[in-house]
Amino acid sequence: MARRLAFGPAGLYIGCMKEKEMERLFRANYMKMYRLAKSILYDEDESRDVVSEILEEVFRSPSLLLRSETTEAYLLRSVRNRCRNRISNLAMRQRVGKLYALELDTAETEAEQDDERMDQVLRFLETEAKPLTRRIVEMRFRQEMSYEEIARQTGVSRVTVYHHLAKTIDTLRRRLANKKVKPNTP
């Protein structure tokens, strides 16, 4: 086989393989490669893509053919391997897609649970907490004030602020533990 680095008659770069050599290689092997790919992938478009990619690689790097025992064996082995890679990649994409969907569903469920817990906390503060306790909790968690600042504004000691917060948090923990929000299960 004569090899050259040049531009073809149409002015296209042909790498190291003459256009005639590539045409001969294509005519002799395309249908065998395509049938093998189609028997593995069961998809005409994917099969054509696999064969085209392999022939393009050979066209750009004909030295790939020099390393193999026969051109046909190399091309068919390349088709088989490329098809396996496609199937593997597709399976991986499908698994990732399912995991992503599951994670989104879980995140939505957790967000719903958080919303329910927040509703329970707010209901407790509105209906059962004393006005001073409600004010202290709001100053601490909404306004992010320190115990010292809360004590100054409410006119009570820091210890009293601590006791109101500790008692409220303990009560909420017990209530939320008793009213566990069950995750949505299909």
The H or E element containing residue 112 is helix 71-127
Give the number of other CB atoms < 10 A from CB of residue 9.
Answer: 8
**Rounded CA separation 156/122 (Å):** 24
Provide the CATH topology of domain 128-178: Arc Repressor Mutant, subunit A (1.10.10)
Find the length of the chain.
186
CATH number of the structural domain 19-93: 1.10.1740
Q: How far is CA 95 from the centre of its chain?
A: 10
Structural domain boundaries of the chain? 19-93, 128-178
Lowest mean pLDDT among 25-34, 121-130, 156-165: 121-130
43-100 pLDDT per residue, tens: 899 899 999 998 888 888 777 665 546 888 889 999 999 988 888 888 777 777 777 7
Mean pLDDT of 160-166: 89
* Residue 126: half-sphere exposure toward Cβ, Cα within 13 Å: 6
Q: What is the pTM of this model?
A: 0.43
10-40 pLDDT per residue, tens: 333 444 557 788 888 888 899 999 999 999 8
Quote the pLDDT of residue 185: 39
Mean pLDDT rounded to a whole number for the chain: 78
